[in-house]
């Protein structure tokens, strides 16, 4: 089945040690999103890619970076994780086309739960 896959599902990293989270999709969607969700809170958009165009949210810390080497894969890099970065990180994709104002469903991955020790 076509889907959004996130690896790993659980990641433990040390304070200050760089970590990379992975997302892949078989839906051939051109938009990919990274969200951060802390306990009992709504997901917060960090950034999204519209094809290769990177769109950063104004309040996303510089500590968070992203790469999208091709349509299928997108990575979230946390350069120096702090204790406050412990959260669930959700990847989502959407088939929204270029220049359209139409709305498309977002398909979410299962998430990666990051623990910072």
Partner 1 sequence: KNEVEQSPQNLTAQEGEFITINCSYSVGISALHWLQQHPGGGIVSLFMLSSGKKKHGRLIATINIQEKHSSLHITASHPRDSAVYICAVQAASKLTFGTGTRLQVTL
* Binding footprint of partner 1 on the chain (CB under 8 A): 6, 31, 41-43, 45, 48, 50, 90, 92, 94, 96, 101-111, 113
Give 15 or 23: the residue with its C-beta nearer to partner 1: 23
Minimum CB separation from partner 1 for residue 32, in Å? Answer: 11
Q: What is the residue whose two structure tokens read 């889907």?
A: 3
Give 26 or 80: the residue with its C-beta nearer to partner 1: 26
Dist. CA 14–CA 2, nearest whole Å: 34
Region of residue 40 (left: phi > 0; alpha: psi -120 to 50; beta: else) = left
Within 10 Å of residue 101's Cβ, how many Cβ atoms? 5
Give 42 or 83: the residue with its C-beta nearer to partner 1: 42
Give 41 or 63: the residue with its C-beta nearer to partner 1: 41
Minimum CB separation from partner 1 for residue 11, in Å? Answer: 14
Within 10 Å of residue 11's Cβ, how many Cβ atoms? 18
Q: Is-cis flag, bond preceding 8, omega within 30?
A: yes
Minimum CB separation from partner 1 for residue 111, in Å? Answer: 5
């Amino acid at each position: 089945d076509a889907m959004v896959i996130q690896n790993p599902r659980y990641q433990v990293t040390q304070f200050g040690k760089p970590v990379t989270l992975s997302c892949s999709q078989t839906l051939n969607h051109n938009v990919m999103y990274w969200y951060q969700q802390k306990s009992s809170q709504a997901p917060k958009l960090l950034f999204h890619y519209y094809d290769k165009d990177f769109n950063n949210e104004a309040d996303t810390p510089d500590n968070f970076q992203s790469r999208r080497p091709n349509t299928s894969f997108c990575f979230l890099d946390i350069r120096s994780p702090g204790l406050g970065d412990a959260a669930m990180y959700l990847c989502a994709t959407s088939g929204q086309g270029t220049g359209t104002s139409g709305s498309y469903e977002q398909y979410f991955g299962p998430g990666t739960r990051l623990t910072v020790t």
